[in-house]
Structure 1
Amino acid sequence: MITGFLPDYQDLLSGKVKVHWFGHVHGAIMTTWLAVFLTQAILAARGNLKFHRKLGLLSLGLGIIVWLTMGVVTFRALISNNPPLADSQFDILFIQLYGLILFGLFFSWGMWMRKNATSHKRLLLLATLITMQAAIDRIRFLPGIHMALFPRFLYLDALLIPLFFYDWLTLRRIHKTTWLGTLFIVLLQVGIVMGWESPAWHRFWFNSISPFVEQVVEVKLNDVQADLLVGDYGDKNWHMTINREDNKLYLKLPEQPKWELGATSDTKLFVRTINWKLLFVKGADGQVTKVVNDQIAFVWEVKRLK
């Protein structure tokens, strides 16, 4: 968790990213869950079951809060960001719901089986490991983590290996709870890989959030307005080009496909397929001098080159 989230918080402190205040609340609650889980494991290992059970009552309430905040963070982001139909946020929703479903399943099942110590501890371990997916997805140096979807699942599944070793060393077999938990995890992972970038999935959630979001009112730019925005923008480290083809504006990055732009005013544009908004700033002479890029958490500006 530290390896995954520490760079994000460093970017936050440096001003590179912005996070809604509830994101910090969610982070604090998730950290508390890890601390309580570790405490409970140590208490049980040392045989202090009396205090373990007392703390377990608080853990029940905390687990419910964890599950609720996972849901709030997921759907608040979806509604507030209002992504376009083709945006990848609808695919990321797959992973968020997978965590929400599995944490809820393993936690509630684990609390139900609290009198069966062998199942109880395995189920709460599985619930805790599921929360690690968000951290794994942020560990940028892991090989293949951003090249395909399945490696990020393989890294999470690797955390199950010690559980299998533990089962074999202590029971001389793999506990049925370990098998069932792994089966549920893998089945959902396979389903996500198969459904990734599904147009039907995108359409369903796009239509579902439409009543709760501000609808984009698009305007048509005339030739003069459009031509003012055409040009190259960036600096020595980053570059983009706005060009015009067949009366349409496009954004082009080096070695990337071009993206069609829409407009909500003569200075406010948006990429049609991803959640990227652009605000063009004009000088006293009416010419564009820079563009402010807004990609939800990342907001930065670049000057016009030519």
Structure 2
Amino acid sequence: MRKNFFFWTSLFLLFLSVFAFSDNLFYDVGQKSNSDPKFIIHGLFFLAWFIILVLQTGYIRKGNYKAHRTLGITGMLVGLGVIISTFYVFVVIYEGWSVMPFQVKANRIFTTSFAILIWLAFLNRKNGVKHKRYIFIGTLYVLGPVLDRVVGKLMSIESLTGPVIFEAIIWNVLFISLFVYDWSTLKKIHPISWIGCIWFYVVWILSVML
């Protein structure tokens, strides 16, 4: 589990992202969003982020630390691209906080949280225990749009009950799996993991209340 957890979870996240936007990528490439530069750039940065996660965790899995460090700089730049392109989409589409649905408000806070965690991951790049947890939790924070698209392909969204339950299951399984990994490798749940989980729920509460 020590060698494989982050690799397989990254592979799962890449699968979710490709499935979520499979229409844009494969069978409905003529749709309007595919000709809009802001969505193309945003989507490419996100796809690159998930691909780099798989490559980076694969290098660690094989003990190729030199390749991991080399690709790490590219990964940080792609992360920056994710942050900038996401905020640009927010600004262009939504005219202020008050008109945003609560889930969009949550995504805006999560994007800010992602930015902070990726910066912390960079600062702690020589501390593997912290580095990989910052990146993993940061990635979970920006998974919302991917899960929304997955839900749209798997079930009817006329009622919110099914989609909300589905997304809650995916997020909670990922957090719980991180706790299991922590316990199996550290014999405790790392503070980054449980604080990250608590903040996840705090953000949703704030988004509904604000």
* Class of the TM-score when normalised by the shorter of the 2 chains: 0.7 to 0.9
Counterparts of 2:169 and 2:59 in 1: how far apart (Å)? 31
Q: Check 1:68–1:18 CA distance in 2 against 1; reply closer, same or farther (3 A cut).
A: closer
Query: Larger relative CO (CA 8 A, sep 6+): 1 or 2?
Result: 2
Matched, 1:27 2:43: yes
Higher helix share: 2
How far has the Cα of 1:51 moved from its partner? 1.8
Counterparts of 1:102 and 1:35 in 2: how far apart (Å)? 21
Q: What amino acid maps onto 1:97 in structure 2?
A: R
The normalised TM-score by structure 1 is 0.55
Contact 1:137/1:145 (<8 A) preserved = no
How far has the Cα of 1:37 moved from its partner? 1.2
Contact 2:118/2:138 (<8 A) preserved = yes
Contact 2:110/2:203 (<8 A) preserved = no
The normalised TM-score by structure 2 is 0.77
Matched, 1:104 2:115: yes
Contact 1:12/1:18 (<8 A) preserved = no
Alignment of 1:1-306 (within 5 A): 1-7=17-23, 12-13=28-29, 15=31, 18=33, 20-79=36-95, 89-138=100-149, 139-140=151-152, 141=154, 146-148=159-161, 151=165, 152-195=167-210
How far has the Cα of 1:26 moved from its partner? 0.7
Q: How many residues align?
A: 188
CA-to-partner distance for each residue in 1:226-280, whole Å, 9 max, x for gaps? Answer: xxxxxxxxxxxxxxxxxxxxxxxxxxxxxxxxxxxxxxxxxxxxxxxxxxxxxxx
Q: Secondary structure at the match of 1:61?
A: helix
Residue 4 (structure 2) aligns with: none
Q: Check 1:74–1:175 CA distance in 2 against 1; reply closer, same or farther (3 A cut).
A: same
CA-to-partner distance for each residue in 1:16-66, whole Å, 9 max, x for gaps? Answer: x54522101110111111111111111112111122112112222221121
Counterparts of 1:182 and 1:156 in 2: how far apart (Å)? 10
Counterparts of 2:158 and 2:107 in 1: how far apart (Å)? 17
CA-to-partner distance for each residue in 1:70-92, whole Å, 9 max, x for gaps? Answer: 1111111225xx9xx7x6x4434
CA-to-partner distance for each residue in 1:144-185, whole Å, 9 max, x for gaps? Answer: 895158533453232222211111111221111111211221
Computed over aligned residues only, the root mean square deviation of the Cα atoms, in angstroms, reads 2.7
Contiguous gaps of at least 5 residues in structure 2: 1-16
